[in-house]
Amino acid sequence: MFAAVVPAPASLAPTGGSPFRLSAATVFGGDPDAVAALTALVAARTGLQPAAGAAPAVRLVVERGGAPESYRLTADEASVVVTGADAAGLFYGVQTLGQLIRPSDEGWIVPAVEIEDAPRFRYRGAMLDVARHFHSVDTVKGYIDRAAGLKLNVLHLHLSDDQGWRIELHSRPELTRRASGTAVGGDEGGHFTKDDYRAIVEHAAARHMIVVPEIDMPGHTHAVGLAYPELVEEPVLSDHIREIANEYGGELPRNGMPYDGMAVGFSSLRIHDEATYDFVADVFGELAGMTPGPYLHLGGDEALGTPDEDFALFVARASEIIADLGKIPIAWHEAGSAAGLADSTIGQYWGFVRPTEGMDDKARAFVRNGGQLILSPADAIYLDMKYPSGPELGLVWANGPTSVRRAYEWEPSGVVDGIDESDILGVEAPMWTETIRTADELDTMAFPRLAAAAEAAWSPATGGSALRTWESFRERVGALGPLWTRLGIRFHPADEIPWTVE
């Protein structure tokens, strides 16, 4: 039970001593931000409000010199000490300490243990689609809190799609004025003001996360045409588009009319019109000024309404525009088919754990171009896939339904042949929201599968430690049920997991 930590630490060893006993008289000391974070965690988990003052029994400190984001935690009968190599490492050590706290016959305890921990990958992401269904600032902040508790350090916001545009830009005011009011199924839309976006970025930064904004181009751009019709082509209506409309409802897309269906791949910007690149420069130029993180995401997926040569021309120019702004471009793996991408563009692979249709070839192209890969295999960690049993939320197209075990049992280094560990920037779990409308539904679809993705991103490689197995994970994540409940996380009680009940 002492090892109920997710994601699994690099090294965890019980010392065999008596546990540390936590009470309202326990004094916390050290870094003020870390003390505040731990106090909130302890209050949520136990109801206790430990004191601050001299001679702390729980010490939270930064000592420079270790690997970035690393920490060390030691607990014995007399004290608990968490030492971070930097502020982020200390924050993650606090999250581990919060998970270790458990009840006993004599009150709340922390088991006697020594932990040495550091992340495997430096990019550990959760993506949230606010375009198909809009989600408020408070909901996004809550999602940040949940992701940070699992040691994720990136929030990727999918801010535009055929159904709506979600970010205010002074350079292109018609986007939110005319293209933000709708969502899938005719639901109400919405958008973030610049102040809203700043609040999200600041909330993330306080939890050692960056925000990666995505404006998906040249497909997924029907909403752009509501604001600037001169920039878009006529929808390309394939048989597949008609099948999706028949299955899920909604009208077929028509230029100038809001689209609230679920089909993809029909829209395109006008590739050979210089006004299109003025638009791209305006959008990413303003976003660059609003986003302190190093990355801007240009999308580039499912551009089925754009001829291949035109697609290659567009993503090459868009990536160079982003690079000229001093940012690192990210694109979905389809863009790997294009010659001329900006050097070091990052590819995000959304294909299956076993690649199909040449998806791995496109992904490898980013590495040949001096970039790296973010792994988001859809049939493992697309969080919007249905569970095998549970709520009637989600989709099944990615070999779904997707069990917690399948979300866990994949290895990042084993997805795309021919790439080294150093070629992988990290792992990201996307949450698309065609069927997901509320914060509670986000919780249900993300938890516990987001924890499986977090372990792939943070922990040693599969089999690299005794903890890095499905059998260990299901026990450890099951023991987090009471903590998640106290934190208000409405997780899906998947029957694969032996959930702890207090």
Q: Does the pLDDT at position 343 exceed 60?
A: yes
User: What is the mean pLDDT of the segment spanning 294-302?
Assistant: 98
**Continuous H helices in 3-70:** 32-46
Q: How confident is the model at residue 54 (pLDDT cuts 50, 70, 90)?
A: confident
Is 71 a residue whose pLDDT tops 60? yes
Averaged pLDDT for residues 2-20? 92
Phi-psi region of 18 (alpha: psi -120 to 50; beta: other; left: phi over 0): beta
Percent of the chain with pLDDT over 70: 100
User: CA 296 to CA 321: how far, in whole Å?
Assistant: 11
Residue 14 pLDDT exceeds 70: yes
Say which CATH class 123-474 falls into.
Answer: alpha beta
Among residues 251, 201, 252, 253, which one has the least CA distance to residue 224? 253
Q: Where are the alpha helices (DSSP H) in 206-338?
A: 222-227, 239-248, 274-290, 308-324
> Rounded CA gap, 471 and 488, in Å?
26
Give domain limits for the chain: 11-117, 123-474
Check for a shared fold between 11-117 and 123-474.
Answer: no
Q: What's the whole-number average pLDDT of the chain?
A: 97
CATH superfamily placement of domain 11-117:
Chitobiase/beta-hexosaminidase domain 2-like (3.30.379.10)
Residue with tokens 């001169």: 230
48 close to 22: Cβ distance less than 8 angstroms: yes
Distance CA(288)–CA(14), nearest Å, equals 47
Range 44-70 average pLDDT: 93
Task: Judge whether residue 397 has pLDDT over 70.
Answer: yes
385-398 in b/e form (b: 16+ CB < 10 A) is bbbeeeeebbbeeb
Cα(209)–Cα(181) distance, integer angstroms: 29
The pLDDT-based confidence of 360 (bands split at 50, 70, 90) is very high
Mean pLDDT within 8-28: 96
Contact 304, 343 (CB under 8 A): no
* Predicted TM-score (pTM) of this structure: 0.97
Tokens encoding 3 = 């090892």
User: How many alpha carbons fall within 13 Å on the CB side of residue 249?
Assistant: 6
Per-residue pLDDT of 189-221, as tens digits, reads 999 999 999 999 999 999 999 999 999 999 999
Return the SS3 of 353.
Answer: coil
Q: Strand 58-62 and strand 80-84: pairing? A: parallel
What pLDDT, in 10s, does the model give residues 458-496?
999 999 999 999 999 999 999 999 999 999 999 999 999
Q: What is the set of active-site residues?
A: 302
* H/E element, 332: strand 328-332
User: Which pLDDT score, from 0 to 100, does residue 390 have?
Assistant: 84
Q: Has residue 1 got a pLDDT over 60?
A: no
Q: Is 208 left (phi over 0), alpha (psi -120 to 50) or beta?
A: left
The two tokens of residue 366 are 């980013």
Residue 123 in 3-state DSSP? Answer: strand
pLDDT band per the 50, 70, 90 thresholds, residue 2: low
- Any idea what the Cα angle at residue 472 is, between residues 120 and 384, rounded to 5°? 70
Tokens 């970025």, residue located = 201
- The phi and psi torsions of 165 (rounded to 5 degrees) equal -110, 130
